[in-house]
Chains A and B, each alone.
Chain A
């Protein structure tokens, strides 16, 4: 079921893809604004690495692995639907969703252990940035999970085409890439 606009695509660059890329460009500027502010603020002050030492780099490394794997399963979901493999599509979409939920779960565990140790957003500037950046990212992960869940539900009724999975995949990869920046900036410095 292609949209009207999709029929007017030139050489595979569909309107949907153009739209998602422009949207992602604006999202890059949002996270860029936050990350840039963090970097500048950090360069201008001392003691942040001491605060960052309270974070668990191993746990975040696991989370990074989780997210990277979920990007892989997303690609495999797209490959499956292109081959007409509905079962594969649903399997890999479900895996992607579960991995996303796992990411959020680990994040929630991190947050609660920080808070119990007394590190809240208002504890200091490092923590303000940490919670805001990872929190905004987590909201984006949640949005991605919801999108993938909708695709999963629609796939049961055979309402999903490869194009939509591809677009959702673009967004999901972007969310992954943002985390690739956040992880070293927050946990490894």
Chain B
């Protein structure tokens, strides 16, 4: 790979702007500084997580104690339940996971880690955040319109979603589609910014194969999103036309085909889950070497696996549709591609475990979460094999087995990977340390309640419990499983309460945490060469990079860490 070489003129562009000069609005609200925008995404995502989490609580209460009033909410009728289920999924995937994992961390870390002063397009960056904020408002507004919010599942299958007569929801579904469109625009802008920045603004010496894995994962996620969202945008336009212009793209009575939606949705849907997963993989890949004090094992193999998984993700989509009524012969090729995709992820997991071998491991909170990610992701990945095998899929499709599977895979990302990232980069983002004891308590509570909540779902799923039902007691064959549903609900409430520990830690640390030094973790990547938090313009002088990002316990240095930008005297890097 050629080295990018911005001239010395670039470092003279140090855009040091003092806060007093530009005022509160430009500093905190309409900032073009990637770090502030990253923090904005973080807080927006955390706020929407409260909304999504509350919806999960309502759903779980109704399942465990059907037709009792949910404390803090009231009775849940069947229409309301469908709204809760739908909006929980939509909120969490598009308005929590992507904003935090991509918007917050991507924005904050990419310029810092590549040695740049900001993103390639700072104003576009600001626009992308505010677009998402508007999209979030549109989504929330759908709760209060006549007819209520969308209730056709986060997957929105027509004809249920295409004609209001089937759900009774009118404006709610239109606003739901609009919120998606706005959110897609936001992430398209962000993705273009990420890619352009990483391609054109790397510091001298920062070749592609010296980039921290976080950057590789953010870039792959951006590319996957850019290339996969198009068909869903097309489908959303068609669904909107079906709803408001009387067309019948997806309605058979007018000559349409409901399966067309499913193909377009899942063509996007599968790459989308990797868009959510890969950033978290990146965080874990950063944290493991730091707290093992040895290089990430198989850096290149991890990159090749990531790219392979990304490409494969475009050819597995119909594993969501084995039983959909599409030609059953299609199940075989899609089973094959699906099962193949476990290979790159296996390499990834093995590489992460191998990183620990021979290490000098410290169990700080970020490391606990990174290790938790590995373990939870293993479970999620393994249960995926049941879903990906077409005959096994017959029994588990549309049951809680699938719900267990995707919560293990997605939440290993957003919970364990996300918290690893938050605890690890909090000092850099906010200039203070989080409380380590509270962090450890948060971890142990989370990991215990997480498994208690989601593992039993595999069991009730195997027992046949369908998704999206409001009352399991309506079915005789599910009666015996009800104690497990109650157990899951209680665990879920425990999981939610455990997050209070995090919120308390977050709030307290923001105002009164111990001030953080530049490099509290003694890590090698470029962001740790800046003050905590970095000023506008990030670096005093733009760094020059001499080596890869994981030179821990290198024989070339007496310390057990060798920063990317340290010039070694009497040796070339």
Q: How many residues of B contact A (CB 8 A)?
A: 46
Distance in Å from the Cβ of B274 to the closest Cβ of chain A?
16
B120 at the interface (CB under 8 A from A): yes
B257 at the interface (CB under 8 A from A): yes
Interface residues in B220-262 by Cβ distance below 8 A to A read 226-235, 237-238, 241, 245-249, 254-257, 260
A116 at the interface (CB under 8 A from B): no
CB pair A125 B249 closer than 8 Å = yes
A49 to B88, CA, bound (A): 44
A102 at the interface (CB under 8 A from B): no
CB pair B121 A15 closer than 8 Å = yes
A189 at the interface (CB under 8 A from B): no
Distance in Å from the Cβ of B434 to the closest Cβ of chain A?
34
CB pair B257 A41 closer than 8 Å = yes
Given contacts A5-B201, A19-B196, A41-B257, A30 and B234 within 8 Å (CB-CB): yes
- Kindly identify which residue among B195, B260, B267 contacts A41, using a CB–CB cutoff of 8 Å: B260
CB pair A122 B248 closer than 8 Å = yes
B contact residues around A34 at 8 Å (CB) = 234, 237-238
Distance in Å from the Cβ of B255 to the closest Cβ of chain A?
4
Q: Which of A13, A18, A41 has the most CB of B within 10 A?
A: A18
CB pair A132 B237 closer than 8 Å = yes
A22 to B109, CA, bound (A): 21
Interface code A5-26, partner B: CB below 8 Å = 1, 0 otherwise? 1011110011100110011011
A28 at the interface (CB under 8 A from B): yes
A contact residues around B5 at 8 Å (CB) = 10
Q: Which of B6-14, B146-154, B341-349 contacts A (4 or more CB under 8 A)?
A: B6-14
CB pair A15 B120 closer than 8 Å = yes
CB pair B246 A122 closer than 8 Å = yes
Given contacts A25-B226, A41-B257, A121 and B191 within 8 Å (CB-CB): no
- What is the interface residue range for chain A against chain B? 35 or more
- Kindly identify which residue among A23, A29, A125 contacts B228, using a CB–CB cutoff of 8 Å: A29
A contact residues around B197 at 8 Å (CB) = 5, 15
CB pair B226 A121 closer than 8 Å = no
CB pair A26 B249 closer than 8 Å = no
A4 to B32, CA, bound (A): 14
CB pair A5 B227 closer than 8 Å = no
Q: Which of B199, B233, B247, B257 has the most CB of A within 10 A?
A: B247
CB pair A33 B234 closer than 8 Å = yes
CB pair B229 A22 closer than 8 Å = no
CB pair B226 A26 closer than 8 Å = yes
- Kindly identify which residue among B7, B196, B237 contacts A18, using a CB–CB cutoff of 8 Å: B196
A32 at the interface (CB under 8 A from B): yes
B4 at the interface (CB under 8 A from A): yes
CB pair B230 A26 closer than 8 Å = yes
CB pair B241 A128 closer than 8 Å = yes
Interface code A128-158, partner B: CB below 8 Å = 1, 0 otherwise? 1101100010000000000000000000000
CB pair A28 B188 closer than 8 Å = no
A41 to B234, CA, bound (A): 14
CB pair B255 A45 closer than 8 Å = yes
Distance in Å from the Cβ of A31 to the closest Cβ of chain B?
8
CB pair A26 B229 closer than 8 Å = yes
Given contacts A28-B230, A30-B230, A41-B257, A15 and B201 within 8 Å (CB-CB): yes
CB pair B120 A5 closer than 8 Å = yes
A37 at the interface (CB under 8 A from B): yes
Interface residues in B395-418 by Cβ distance below 8 A to A read none
A152 to B429, CA, bound (A): 42
CB pair B200 A18 closer than 8 Å = yes
CB pair B234 A125 closer than 8 Å = no
Interface code B161-194, partner A: CB below 8 Å = 1, 0 otherwise? 0000000000000000000000000001001110
CB pair B199 A33 closer than 8 Å = no
A contact residues around B247 at 8 Å (CB) = 121-122, 128, 131-132
A contact residues around B196 at 8 Å (CB) = 5, 15, 18-19, 22
Given contacts A29-B228, A122-B247, A19 and B188 within 8 Å (CB-CB): no
A84 at the interface (CB under 8 A from B): no
B92 at the interface (CB under 8 A from A): no
Given contacts A29-B227, A121-B241, A122-B248, A7 and B6 within 8 Å (CB-CB): yes
B contact residues around A40 at 8 Å (CB) = 260
B280 at the interface (CB under 8 A from A): no
Given contacts A19-B193, A23-B188, A125-B254, A10 and B264 within 8 Å (CB-CB): no
A120 to B195, CA, bound (A): 41
Interface residues in A39-55 by Cβ distance below 8 A to B read 40-41, 44-45
Given contacts A45-B255, A136-B237, A32 and B192 within 8 Å (CB-CB): no
CB pair B260 A132 closer than 8 Å = no
A7 to B13, CA, bound (A): 11
- Select from chain A the residue with minimum beta-carbon distance to B242: A128
CB pair A19 B121 closer than 8 Å = yes
A5 to B256, CA, bound (A): 48
- Kindly identify which residue among B9, B238, B267 contacts A132, using a CB–CB cutoff of 8 Å: B238
B contact residues around A23 at 8 Å (CB) = 188, 192
B contact residues around A30 at 8 Å (CB) = 230-231, 233-234
A36 to B197, CA, bound (A): 32
Distance in Å from the Cβ of B564 to the closest Cβ of chain A?
19
A contact residues around B117 at 8 Å (CB) = 4
Distance in Å from the Cβ of A89 to the closest Cβ of chain B?
24
- Select from chain B the residue with minimum beta-carbon distance to A124: B255
Given contacts A15-B121, A122-B248, A22 and B233 within 8 Å (CB-CB): no
CB pair B235 A33 closer than 8 Å = yes
CB pair A122 B193 closer than 8 Å = no
- Select from chain B the residue with minimum beta-carbon distance to A29: B230
B contact residues around A32 at 8 Å (CB) = 230-231, 234
Show the binding face of A for B, using Cβ within 8 Å.
4-5, 7-10, 13-15, 18-19, 22-23, 25-34, 36-37, 40-41, 44-45, 120-122, 124-125, 128-129, 131-132, 136
4 further A-B contacts with Cβ under 8 Å, apart from A15-B200, A22-B226, A121-B246, are A29-B231, A124-B254, A125-B248, A128-B248
24 A-B pairs within 8 Å (CB atoms) are namely: A5-B121, A5-B200, A7-B9, A18-B195, A23-B192, A26-B229, A29-B227, A32-B231, A33-B231, A33-B235, A34-B234, A36-B231, A37-B249, A37-B260, A40-B260, A45-B255, A121-B247, A124-B255, A125-B255, A128-B248, A131-B241, A132-B241, A132-B249, A136-B237
